A and B are shown apart, each in its own frame.
Chain A
């Protein structure tokens, strides 16, 4: 309102906007064919990000867009048909499956979850934590780091007299799903009053924080001393870079383990045989002396009735590539995100589900 610009500026601006508009329209119509949208789990997102460039080199006709929005969004957008691939650490609930029987839950890999914390001076120690202790922290019953329950598990560590800041996910999250399954399986009190889900009613804890996405959890723990959070294994790199602590969790055999390839594989071996045909199963709190308690299938939630034949074909080709040992499930990809490839028996089940996709 103070700038008395000469008139030719406004004409040039108008021309520029019109050109931009035309370019956008032109671009959009050209990209209609061969487009796949993947949205959802922030735990699976780093893997998709390293898959897509390699895949599009082999199959240049397909353009795959990836988004990290949380498993809840992955499920809802796949159900509504907005996204072709809904990435989720959580399978569909019974009620949702009944409402939408055309939805497929297709595991792509096996992942796990860490419990991380920020204790100044103690981050290089691996604190031992159990399910009931974590439940107590997230319920507000255990408020200080030097609480006797935590000290009992870590007798040789000098725990500080500071208030614990538990951080939870605010978005609909598969990480919340598997974490609360672990709490439910280990703590009957939690199972009765709160249970599990991609979103739960978090008990009110004074000073407790919420964060969005796994990256948000990492940032919040990094910025907040004496905080604790549950974070997907694919964020092991950022955690190590920020020099944050990683806990050893108590498994079903009573041992305390870190999420390594060996411990995750041990848990997988114990649970994989029980996988049903629709592949909806919890791998949490698996038996075995060396099993890590929080592992899960990384699902692609797919609608079996796609909008057109071309999308269905592109989708099936991509999923088969993702599942193959020379494609997406190759060790080179899995290693970068600390995932474990799908065992052969589960791959067969996934292949059977992929065959159901039609256009």
Chain B
């Protein structure tokens, strides 16, 4: 019995810690939630107020004059950068997985797979530094002007191409961080498909590519969605790399795909010391409210993915 209770306690700590974090955020941010109301999510203006003026009382709450907290531009920045990262990472990840599982002979396959997985081990601040030093100048001087020339007729792809710090650069750096999650998971899954499936497909006259594309991958939809959810979770919460390449836009929505943005996680990191200057404490609690919103968005993404997975499961069982 003692072992069982120990196991239960240890196992229970995992969901308990998640609930504890959410509860802490909700309790700590409550004064801000109460004051900001619904306009927090839709408001376009994040303003700490006049830090060197005396606090005034609004509706019984002490605030700095001019303080208003709206994070719509952060929500847009977070969701758009994650979307672009996924749009880039999913084709590359699936392609890499197929390539590694099918087209590479067994000896180099070991090392190439190891290298792909190693990409996931690189700390995010290193990605940020590389993005800042290499990607941003490359984008600003060569890629973005070329894109604006060829794709400028599309809305959002035209001039001005900016300084290289922005939405598309953040998306590119994020996609490189999440590609190994998708590629490694999918490659493992493709590898572990029984040989009988491949042999049956070959017997029907399918080429190697047709086997993978039409027979093996459709059965792995749930794995792919699971990997994409993991990737989305990582991209939503990515702080350091985005902080260094996003341009840190304040209170603006990106007009083009090259324009600077700000994401929720990067914003909390960069604004914490400023928020600590607020003697009323409302600014730090509003940052905690941003963290709460980020948590809820991540949970929502996970929940939606699980629902999609549940949708696939009975069909899968029927085919098997």
A in complex with B: yes
B51 is contacted by which of A165, A197, A203 (Cβ under 8 Å)?
Answer: A197
Q: Let me know if A201 and B277 touch, CB within 8 A.
A: no
Q: A-facing mask of B250-280, CB < 8 A → 1, else 0?
A: 1110010001100000000011011011010
Residues in A101-127 with C-beta less than 8 Å from chain B: none
Contact indicator per residue, chain B 158-192, by CB within 8 Å of chain A (1) or not (0): 00101111000000000000000000000000000
Q: Is B248 a contact of A198 with CB atoms below 8 Å?
A: no
By beta carbon, the residue of chain B nearest A173 is B274
Report whether A207 and B277 are in contact in the complex, using a CB–CB cutoff of 8 Å: no
Most chain A beta-carbon neighbours within 10 Å: one of B51, B248, B249, B276: B51
Kindly list chain B residues whose C-beta atoms are within 8 Å of the C-beta of A93: 51-53, 277, 279
Interface size class of A (residues with CB under 8 A): 35 or more
| Chain B residues, Cβ within 8 Å of A75 | 276-277
Given A72-B276, A72-B277, A207-B162, check contact A2 B136 (CB 8 Å): no
Q: Contact between A95 and B54 (Cβ–Cβ < 8 Å)?
A: yes
Q: Say yes or no: B50 contacts A195, CB within 8 Å.
A: yes
Least distance between B260 CB and chain A CB atoms (Å) = 6
A residues in contact with B279, CB < 8 Å: 93, 95-96, 98-99
**Are A72 and B162 in touch, CB under 8 angstroms?**
no
Interface pair B137/A171, CB less than 8 Å apart: no
B251 engages A209 (CB within 8 Å): no
Interface string of A136-148 (1 = CB under 8 A from B): 0000000000000
Q: Counting CB contacts under 8 A, is B24 at the interface? A: no
- A72: B residues at CB distance < 8 A: 273-274, 276-277
Alpha-carbon distance A207/B250, docked complex (angstroms): 11
Q: Which B residues touch A223, using CB under 8 A?
A: 136-137, 140, 163-164
Q: Are A94 and B250 in contact, CB atoms less than 8 angstroms apart?
A: no
Residues of B contacting A99 in the complex (Cβ-Cβ under 8 angstroms) = 279
- When the two chains form the complex, which single residue of A70, A202, A207 contacts B163, counting CB atoms closer than 8 Å? A207
Instruction: Please report the C-alpha to C-alpha distance between residue A220 and residue B164 in the assembled complex, in whole angstroms.
Output: 11
- The answer to whether the Cβ of A343 comes within 8 Å of any Cβ in the partner chain is no
Once the chains are docked, how many angstroms separate the CA of A197 from the CA of B114?
50
The smallest C-beta distance from A139 to any residue of chain B, in angstroms, reads 12
Contact pattern, B 34-50, Cβ under 8 Å of A = 1, otherwise 0: 00000000000111111
Q: Is the CB of A209 within 8 A of B160?
A: no
Could you mark each residue 196-239 of chain B with 1 if its beta carbon is under 8 Å from any beta carbon of chain A, else 0?
A: 00000000000000000000000000000000000000000000
* Residue in B114, B270, B276 whose Cβ sees the most chain A Cβ within 10 Å: B276
Q: Which residues of chain A are within 8 angstroms of B276 by Cβ–Cβ distance?
A: 72-73, 75-76, 172
A212 interface residue per 8 A CB criterion: yes
Q: List residues of chain A with CB within 8 A of the CB of B270.
A: 170-171, 210, 212
Minimum Cβ distance to chain A for residue B45 (Å): 7
Question: A199 at interface (Cβ–Cβ under 8 A)?
Answer: yes
Partner of A202, one of B52, B114, B250: B250
Contacts of A227 in B (CB 8 A): 163
Inter-chain contacts of B45 with A (CB < 8 A): 201
**Residues of chain A contacted by B274 (CB below 8 angstroms):** 72, 171-172, 198-199
Which of under 10, 10 to 19, 20 to 34, or 35 or more describes the interface residues of B? 35 or more
Report if A163-B249 is in contact (Cβ < 8 Å); known contacts: A2-B110, A199-B274, A209-B165.
no
Contact B255 A206 (CB under 8 A): yes
Q: Residues of B contacting A195 with CB < 8 Å?
A: 50, 52-53, 66
CB distance from A160 to the nearest CB of B (A): 14
Q: Tell me the bound Cα distance from A208 to B49 in angstroms.
A: 20
Chain A nearest Cβ from B132, distance in angstroms:
8
CB <8 Å contact, A198 and B251: no
Q: How far is the CB of B263 from chain A (nearest CB, A)?
A: 13
Q: Write the chain B residue with the least CB distance to A80.
A: B276
Report if A70-B52 is in contact (Cβ < 8 Å); known contacts: A201-B46, A224-B163.
Answer: no
CB neighbours of B252 from chain A (8 A): 204-206, 208
Q: Given the complex, which residues of B lie within 8 Å of A212, measured CB to CB?
A: 270
Closest beta carbon of chain B to A181's beta carbon, Å: 9
Q: Which residues of B contact A211 (CB under 8 A)?
A: 248
* B31 close to chain A: CB less than 8 A: no
Q: Please measure, in the bound complex, the distance between the C-alpha atom of A217 and the C-alpha atom of B283, giving whole angstroms.
A: 25
Q: Which residues of B contact A98 (CB under 8 A)?
A: 279
Contact with B52, one of A197, A206, A209 (Cβ below 8 angstroms): A197
Closest to A99 in B: B279
Asked if A69 lies at the interface with its beta carbon under 8 angstroms from chain B, I say yes
Known contacts A72-B273, A172-B274; A207 and B52 CB within 8 A of each other: no
Residue contact A69 to B273, C-beta cutoff 8 Å: yes
Known: A201-B46, A207-B260, A209-B165. A96 touches B277 (CB 8 A): yes
Q: How far is the CA of A100 from the CA of B27 in the complex (A)?
A: 25
Most A Cβ at <10 Å: residue of B48, B252, B277: B277
Chain B residues with CB under 8 Å of A210's CB are 247-250, 260, 270
Bound Cα distance from A2 to B191, whole angstroms: 14
B113 at the interface (CB under 8 A from A): yes
B145 contacts chain A at the CB level, 8 A cutoff: no
- Residues of B close to A203: CB separation below 8 A: 251
Among candidates A198, A200, A201, A208, residue contacting B260 with C-beta atoms closer than 8 Å: A208
Is B55 an interface residue when CB atoms closer than 8 A count as contact? yes
Q: Report yes or no: A199 in contact with B51, Cβ–Cβ below 8 A.
A: yes
* A-B contacts besides A93-B52, A198-B51, A204-B252, 14 pairs, CB < 8 Å: A73-B273, A75-B277, A95-B55, A99-B279, A172-B276, A172-B277, A201-B46, A201-B66, A206-B255, A209-B248, A210-B247, A210-B248, A210-B249, A210-B270
Chain B residues within 8 Å of A, Cβ to Cβ: 45-55, 64, 66, 110, 113-114, 136-137, 140, 160, 162-165, 247-252, 255, 259-260, 270-271, 273-274, 276-277, 279
Q: Nearest 6 CB-CB pairs, A to B?
A: A210-B248, A197-B51, A199-B274, A201-B47, A76-B276, A172-B274
20 contacts between A and B (CB under 8 A): A69-B273, A73-B276, A75-B276, A75-B277, A93-B53, A170-B248, A171-B270, A195-B50, A195-B52, A195-B66, A198-B277, A204-B250, A204-B251, A205-B252, A206-B259, A209-B260, A210-B248, A210-B270, A212-B270, A224-B163
